[in-house]
Structure 1
Amino acid sequence: MEFNPELSYIHEIGQKPLVYRNIGQQFDIAVKRFPNVEAIVSCHENIRLTYTQLRDQADRLGAAFIKLGLKSGDVIAVWGPNTINWYLTMLAAARTGLLLLGMNPAFQGQEIRNCLQKVDAKAIIITPESFKKQHYFKILKAVIPEMEKASPGLLKSKSIPTLRHIIVDSQQKHRSVWKFDDLMQWAENSDIQTVKNSVHKVSPDSPCNIQLTSGTTGVPKAVVLSHFNVVNNSIEFGTRIPMNELKLCCQIPFFHAYALICALFPAYEYGSTLVLPSEGFDADCSLNAIHNEKCVVIYGTPTMYVDLINKQKILNVPMGIAKYAVTAGAPCSPQLFEDIKSILKLEKVNTLYGLSETTAGIFISMPDESKDNVLNTVGRVLQHQEVRVVDSDGFLVPFGSPGELHVRSYRNMMCYYGDEERTRDMITKSGWLRTGDQFILMKDGYGIIVGRLKDLIIRGGENIYPKEIEDFLNTHPDVLEAFVVGIPDDRMGEELCAFIRIPEGIEVDEVKLKQFCVGKIAHFKIPKYIRVVKEFPKTATGKIQKHKLKELFLL
């Protein structure tokens, strides 16, 4: 049967061949090209390191890892906010063939135990010892009571039997742990040279990173990515976002693929400087860093931009040479796009769509994007990528029609760590990865995200996608953010509840807000319930945990 060109399938052929390198080799190329360029500036730590200095410190730490007895393929976890030592741990692990697991700084004891058990972690680095209300060391001691008596490197945990080493970035001495600063002093020059000489022995096809899915609906899965995944997706990301020797303001957490694949790793290829405004997101610190460090590109999630905009209305900080905003992690409303340009005075807004399972990016805005595409799409499909949209029976739908997005390329994850069944459920025998997103693919390669399939609300037989209503509510002058969920209803099956966040000192009349909807959206899309919240339950990457909103309503 002849293929129908009107059906939703695109293969975006690459203009340049993929490269067969590991992360360490990629970084060595950056050191040769940009030896004295600042690779990273940590504003809150007052530390600045060039590419050469960063490589040398990472190799010193890598040599210490080897002295601890860690071997290529072992899993090392890092737990904490954005710091220089987090970055060094990541780079040292990659250059010595270790597999890095970045853990959410907000995780609690049971979550930490589950993660370390899931991936058979051999070591954990806590950097720093505490952050905000989180005292990481105390939490870990509660999870691993054996720490009270063990000597460093000789830990034997009943609940996490593979764990041997605990490394803490602290000036205090603790039983059973290694101090991060001490490790940095262990290596002799010959040990460091051994690391430098061995970088090429790490296969580009070997695993380098474990991404925990954001856990918006339950226990996160452990996504395994290879050096090949990471290096190539990072290189291509820089073809869509201007990055050549520019300063990038990184507000997003290191542990997530968005930061690693779209900010940290692309910087190597383009000689960019990564600027860390603060350990965790702080709108004041971000605005000051953008101004003081002369950042050109800003990375953030929609929620971060909402807070940045509201703070800028108060402070009116000169934005200097800042030109580009990159947003991802959750759908961004057209109104927020307009506010980013008008209030933050940025020239362009670039949107990104992807999953941890696809090494972050699948669709990204083009360099010279039209306003219409920025406001209404998630960008254009990246190169070396196949995409298709199918119905519930797995058949292609016409271009412009909604269905589930499937993708196939080198970006697809290696597997879920230790979970063959979930891996098979996610990736078909023919290599298509099921995204779980309701999506519209256009003939020109642009995509429109309709919403998560699991978020679909069926009210009295009408299929309702929350994003459409959320985007509309966000146009109300007193609504900062809006998220819509389905609530069980005896008569209609489900009813709509809109959770909204509003500025301090403002009162929203529920009746007037519903009146605002009349005549602008269909009557069955007008939320029956309105709830005002101060904060939304969300992951560290800004994704709203809608199952928790439902729980909040039912309390």
Structure 2
Amino acid sequence: MKSYFHQPGTISYVYETIPERVKKLADEDPDKTAFVIYLSKEERYEITRQEIFDRSQKFARALLKAGLKKGDRVAFCVSNCINWMSFDVGIMLAGGVPVHLLLGAADIKVALAGCSAIILDVKERWNDFTSIAQIHEQGKVTSETCPSMKLAIAVEAGSRPLNALLASEIMAEIDTLDAERFTNFPLVDPEDIAFINQTSGTTGHPKQVQHSHFNIINCKYESSNKVLDMSKNVMYYSRPMAYIGGYPISYLHHGIKIITGNTVFLKATQNFELVVDIWRKEKCNMVGIAPHDLKDLKEFGFRVAVVFTGGDMLTKEMIKHAFVFTDNVSVGYGSTEAIFISLKLFTKSNIDDHIEGMIGRPCPGVEVKIVNDKNETVEIGEIGTLCTRSAWISKSYDDGSLNGSPKNGWYHTTDVCVMLPGGDLLMKGRTSDFIIKGTVNLAIKLIETYIDRHPDVKKVVVVGVPDPSCGEDVCACVQISSGQKFDSNELRMFCENNMPSSGSFDWVTMVPSYFLQFDDFPTAESGKLDKKKIKEMAIKQLNIKHAIN
């Protein structure tokens, strides 16, 4: 039997735009709180459904007044804030296309290519921008590097550069005008590009992915309805709204109240207890947690209905640990290009069904197949590259490609997987998630899984480091649990006693040659561990002179 799986969806598609959906939610329950934003322990803001739509209309009118035309691309580089959704929808209402960027993750010249306007908040990013562009009166921009750039708008007065427009001021000015002026919004079709998203850049090369309004409105993950009445949920997550994993899709689909905020504040290790207090105070019943943070969960005096996690492979031990805080752990798998691909809900009753690397069964409406290097679909149980197809998958990157222009709508991921007879998927790693030691490919995730079982290990990241004799060698970067001591010899002995023997790998051992202690791991803006940075730090600690790609 071939490694192909599909189960039909039961939810009919809806042909509407994101602004139309935002208006519909406002009409249904105008005074319901839509978002609560925490910028710090003391700074809490909230906004209703009606306020989101009203402010988005006002911002759209301000953009039309400033000269924005239909199809203009707007570099939208703003951290999570109370008006984030209003700005985003306002750009769409005005006919523009938001380009969701976090400029620190990509070359600014590449990121801003083709954009007509920029909206920024952070002083450091303004410094990056003004190094390649000049801002004149009324926010007008000239730039030899980015010749299409014509307009600059600041979100925060404190970081606003000279001559840039200020969002609050141009929106206030609209209030002084006749109510009918600048209200002739251009027609936006559901199949028009809604926004362009920058990928997380964890592979080192962020890409820009186009999604239509139709894609975002219709990518519902139906299996979640089996656990909760989605419309009554209060969801917490700490990812940037600028990434697909943090974009408020659940608000658009179900009207879920979302609790989020400044990602630096929310993700800081020292603020974890403050974040738990936010969950308690806001009565969150759905909490999003990165896989590497599940070990921080404990009995807090309250429980949530669901912990949802994803973005990396999880061990059975990691999921079991989460049961101290919830009865349901939802493991999701997706990408910026495909949005939702698979989902698996684990409970105490089915956790023993978990197999190493399990990322769930394809969501209703999603097709998945596993192919070999000849693009042939392999048999069930055979390893290969995962490919997926759905109605909401991105049709292309911004440069017109999508992993080699997918044939018949199939998107080829870089994930190496196996399909089980029932359709469940096991991830074995990414094509880049191997250390080539000599002539042997060692799976990084498998090595991490063994080390993670050590009782004193809190978190582990395995990286490849340069080696003159075998090209690349194994280095384990380890965080030790509170109250325990780091002992590299003891960790090495644990690995030797528990990992497969070297004979299983053509006499190349998977036991790390190096163990390094880390107090904390850096994370990317997406919330994922920044493995590229961790590798650089490891090489520096080991004083290795020449890194390899």
How far apart, in 1, do the equivalents of 2:434 and 2:53 lie?
47
- How much does 1:535 deviate? 3.5
Contact 1:399 1:440 in 2 (8 A): yes
RMSD: 2.7
What TM-score, normalized by structure 2, do the two folds share?
Answer: 0.87
1:297 aligned residue: 286
1:47 aligned residue: 45
Instruction: Name structure 1 gaps, 5 residues minimum.
Output: 1-5
2:126 aligned with 1:137, yes or no? yes
- The letter for the 2-side match of 1:474 is D
How far apart, in 2, do the equivalents of 1:206 and 1:545 lie?
33
SS at match of 2:516: strand
How far apart, in 2, do the equivalents of 1:194 and 1:16 lie?
39
1:30 aligned residue: 25
2:510 aligned residue: 525
Contact 2:459 2:480 in 1 (8 A): yes
- The structure richer in helix per residue is 1
SS at match of 1:152: helix
2:109 aligned with 1:113, yes or no? yes
- How much does 1:549 deviate? 4.3
After superposition, where does 1:46-125 map in structure 2 within 5 Å? 46-104=44-102, 106-107=104-105, 111-117=107-113, 120-125=114-119
How far apart, in 1, do the equivalents of 2:223 and 2:137 lie?
45
Candidates 515, 538, 548, aligned match of 2:493: 515
- The letter for the 2-side match of 1:123 is A
- How much does 1:216 deviate? 2.2
SS at match of 2:138: coil
How far apart, in 2, do the equivalents of 1:143 and 1:189 lie?
35
2:505 aligned residue: none
Task: Flag the 1:71–1:467 CA change in 2: closer, same or farther, 3 A.
Answer: same
- The letter for the 1-side match of 2:53 is R
Candidates 272, 275, 285, aligned match of 2:256: 272
CA deviation digits over 1:306-345, x for unaligned, max 9? 5x53xx6xxx7543x5221111223333332222222xx1
SS at match of 2:152: strand
How far apart, in 1, do the equivalents of 2:176 and 2:200 lie?
40
After superposition, where does 1:305-316 map in structure 2 within 5 Å? 305-306=294-295, 308-309=296-297
Q: Which has the larger displacement, 53-62 or 96-105?
A: 96-105
Contact 1:451 1:467 in 2 (8 A): yes
Instruction: Name structure 2 gaps, 5 residues minimum.
Output: 502-508
Task: Flag the 1:158–1:325 CA change in 2: closer, same or farther, 3 A.
Answer: same
SS at match of 1:327: strand
Contact 2:157 2:166 in 1 (8 A): yes
SS at match of 1:480: strand
SS at match of 1:223: strand
Candidates 444, 456, 462, aligned match of 1:484: 462
How far apart, in 1, do the equivalents of 2:94 and 2:222 lie?
25
Q: How many residues align?
A: 521
- The letter for the 2-side match of 1:391 is N
How far apart, in 1, do the equivalents of 2:178 and 2:355 lie?
52
Task: Flag the 1:367–1:547 CA change in 2: closer, same or farther, 3 A.
Answer: closer
Candidates 301, 306, 312, aligned match of 1:330: 312
2:341 aligned with 1:362, yes or no? yes
How far apart, in 2, do the equivalents of 1:500 and 1:380 lie?
32
1:21 aligned residue: 16
Contact 1:249 1:277 in 2 (8 A): no
How far apart, in 2, do the equivalents of 1:335 and 1:176 lie?
55
After superposition, where does 1:224-303 map in structure 2 within 5 Å? 224-234=210-220, 236=222, 239=225, 242=228, 243-260=230-247, 264-280=248-264, 281-282=266-267, 283-303=272-292
2:329 aligned with 1:349, yes or no? yes
After superposition, where does 1:386-425 map in structure 2 within 5 Å? 386-417=367-398, 419-420=399-400, 422-423=401-402, 425=403
How far apart, in 2, do the equivalents of 1:211 and 1:48 lie?
25
How far apart, in 1, do the equivalents of 2:126 and 2:467 lie?
45
Task: Flag the 1:372–1:229 CA change in 2: closer, same or farther, 3 A.
Answer: farther
Contact 1:35 1:52 in 2 (8 A): yes
After superposition, where does 1:106-255 map in structure 2 within 5 Å? 106-107=104-105, 111-117=107-113, 120-127=114-121, 129-130=122-123, 135-144=124-133, 146-147=134-135, 150-172=136-158, 174-188=161-175, 198=185, 201-234=187-220, 236=222, 239=225, 242=228, 243-255=230-242
- The letter for the 1-side match of 2:189 is S
CA deviation digits over 1:237-256, x for unaligned, max 9? 75466322211112111111
How far apart, in 2, do the equivalents of 1:209 and 1:53 lie?
22
Contact 2:57 2:90 in 1 (8 A): yes
How far apart, in 2, do the equivalents of 1:304 and 1:194 lie?
50
How far apart, in 1, do the equivalents of 2:498 and 2:476 lie?
16
How far apart, in 2, do the equivalents of 1:390 and 1:456 lie?
19
- The letter for the 2-side match of 1:111 is D
How far apart, in 1, do the equivalents of 2:7 and 2:293 lie?
32
Task: Flag the 1:77–1:405 CA change in 2: closer, same or farther, 3 A.
Answer: same
State the percentage of identical aligned residues: 25
- How much does 1:224 deviate? 0.9
- How much does 1:28 deviate? 2.2
- How much does 1:529 deviate? 1.9
CA deviation digits over 1:83-116, x for unaligned, max 9? 1122221222233332112222645xx7333311
CA deviation digits over 1:440-482, x for unaligned, max 9? 1122222111100122234455442211221221122222221
What TM-score, normalized by structure 1, do the two folds share?
Answer: 0.86
